[in-house]
Amino acid sequence: MKCLSKMKGHNTRWLAKTKHETLSEFYQEVNLRRNLADRILGRKPQNYFRFGFVRNPWDRMSSFYRYLVEKKPRKEIHSVESFKDFLLQVRDDAPWIKTLYSMKPQVDYFTLDDNTLHIDFLGHFEHLGDDLRIIAEHIGSPLTLPHLNRSTNSQKDYRKEYDSEMIEIVARRFTDDIHHFGYTFDQPDPTKRCSGRLNRRR
């Protein structure tokens, strides 16, 4: 997270090359990234405060599609005719879609090998300011969050971009996110807000 990069103790050696490593994958690999000093000083991931954020899946897919269109990180986006066409390719498991990290359910990033969801603080994008303040108080450092990868639809109502078929595609793709994090299509904010510790079976 960009806002943490200047904090004392910032350790990039433990990070994967991708920003999209799940918690389970991180635990499997982190021992290979720890150096001798880490081992002598007893630095372990379990000693750190672990937090993350989730977002309404329908809003997230709308924003992600706009990002692909505007930034064009993948050549395949040139052949996508519309947001609906994109979601139809999601439904049909188009090979290039399956390689996109952002198409993973968000719940995957907080799931451990024993199929439990375990994180010290889970915040909501819809309550970003409030939840960041809670995190800042816990770690004892102010956090200023830059808005990176902003798309032109960041202030738009995502609900106006969907028809019933598109709504259902996202609902099926992100069933676990909707269930665990309390999201619905009609209500942008979560119906059951976490904004705290998460520790339960998936």
pLDDT digit string, tens, across residues 90-138: 999 999 999 999 999 999 999 999 999 989 999 999 999 999 999 999 8
pLDDT digit string, tens, across residues 46-77: 888 899 999 999 999 999 999 999 999 999 99
Cα separation values, 173 from 19, 83, 144, 166, Å:
21, 15, 32, 11
Query: According to the model, what pLDDT value does residue 152 have?
Result: 59
Domain count, the chain: 1
The pLDDT-based confidence of 1 (bands split at 50, 70, 90) is: low
Could you list the residue range(s) of the whole structural domain that residue 31 is in?
2-201
CA atoms within 13 A on the CB side of 190: 22
Query: According to the model, what pLDDT value does residue 39 have?
Result: 86
pTM, whole model, 2 decimals? 0.85
pLDDT digit string, tens, across residues 128-149: 999 999 999 988 887 776 655 5
Share of the chain above pLDDT 90, in %: 61
